[in-house]
A and B are shown apart, each in its own frame.
Chain A
């Protein structure tokens, strides 16, 4: 089946630095990818929709300049948390929607636990 690889699984960074998280579709092309943020024991909150070759669509309240999303190819989307602060510490999950698989094709990465110290 469709597999999405997300790296790194966990990362610790110092306050003020930037962190990049990668989301790759391994065996399919993903025209659309989604980035979620999840706090402990809470639901997934959609941050942005990433479309290959175009600008990401951010959800209301999500800072575009802090959470930079790039979807430069049909198999790779990246989320960069810029000038990270402790309040950015969270679990980030990506999801891909394969080009030809309709709604059967929502596949999730394994997530990235970000800790900002």
Chain B
């Protein structure tokens, strides 16, 4: 089975400051990794995904994430945040072989203060 741990339930940051949202996963098989964002009263939107290749993945809205296999981590970063980045962020994994579902972490609420 797979599990995902997002270490921070809430992260407050000032506008234009850098931010890192942490994600660790556990799996006995190889997995793909995803970050989704959910704005208030909205569905989920894919920010970025790691499938293979370069461990540094760039996504939409200036976000990037780095896959670290030895530490089983997939932390999300942005060098300078905006008010519009205020949202809930979910890290998720799916099995490479025979995957039928995403396993989500508990989410991190990112709040940007002016």
Q: Is B truly associated with A?
A: no
B interface residue numbers (CB < 8 A to A): none
